[in-house]
Amino acid sequence: MAEIAPVGALALTTQFTIDVVAGLLSVDNLSMSLLTREIRDTPGVTLAAYDIGPYLFYAGQFALVVQLAVMRRIKVWTPFLVLCDLIMPNIDKDLIPLGAILLLVSFASISHRATSAASRPAPSATEPIPTPA
């Protein structure tokens, strides 16, 4: 499931590029809307770049965080924060900043966990591996 995230990221990049280029090529909102509609009328573009494609990134992101939690590499509450971030914009667009804060907290905990794991020295081949008592 996490393998679909790059496809979703590509869809988000495509959507962003279409919107920015349409904005740059247009002189007003009406011409921008007409240009965007013309691009979206191309077969497959709406489905891939707007309707389904971007959600693959979010589904892959959530799947990866759940996988890390199941492997006990991150805290069990981290997937819940990521899920809340993904749901917030669907409830109300005004909740996007709150969702971003939740995502920041969840990724900060992941980053902290990765940093602390990387700072621990790996046992060398000459040192005996300690066994639990």
Per-residue pLDDT reduced to its tens digit, 72-86: 988 999 999 999 999
Per-residue pLDDT reduced to its tens digit, 12-26: 999 999 999 999 999
Q: Give me 122's structure tokens.
A: 């790996």
The amino acid present at 24, given as its one-letter code, is: L
Residue 27's pLDDT is: 94
CA neighbor of 54 nearest in space, from 3, 16, 106, 97: 16
pTM: 0.72
- Name the one residue in this structure whose structure tokens are 């892959």: 60
Confidence check: pLDDT of 31 > 90? yes
Per-residue pLDDT reduced to its tens digit, 86-133: 999 999 999 999 999 999 998 888 887 766 666 666 555 565 666 665
How far is the C-alpha of 37 from the C-alpha of 35, rounded, in Å?
A: 5
Per-residue pLDDT reduced to its tens digit, 48-71: 999 999 999 999 999 999 999 999
